[in-house]
Amino acid sequence: MDDFASARWYAVRPAGSTKPATYRCPLCGRHLAAMSEHLLVLPEGQPARRRHAHTNCVMRARRAGRLPLREEVEPRRRGWIARLLGRGTE
């Protein structure tokens, strides 16, 4: 759990599994009902560290600033054409 909380940024996406498994939300510590709608939270985009979380918990943590997304922490990399042409070096 500490490893989850210490990430610099997170990727968040809808969970698409139909696996009848029960998970524990890393944000509130409560169980997620099997096959309920919820989100996957990937610390620093690493699938091996992913955790299943309640949608409301993720939204609350985002509003509180505890789950920053990559685009909020790291500047967006210029596209390959812009790099090739030397544009957008601000």
- Does pTM top 0.75 for this prediction? yes
pLDDT, residue 60, reads 97
Closest alpha carbon to 6 in 39, 57, 49, 55: 49
**Domain residue spans in the chain?**
2-85
pLDDT in tens, 7-66: 999 999 999 877 888 899 999 999 998 788 899 999 998 999 999 999 999 999 999 999
H/E run at residue 39: strand 39-43
Domain boundaries 2-85, corresponding CATH code? 3.30.1740
pLDDT tier, 69 (very low <50, low <70, confident <90, very high otherwise): very high
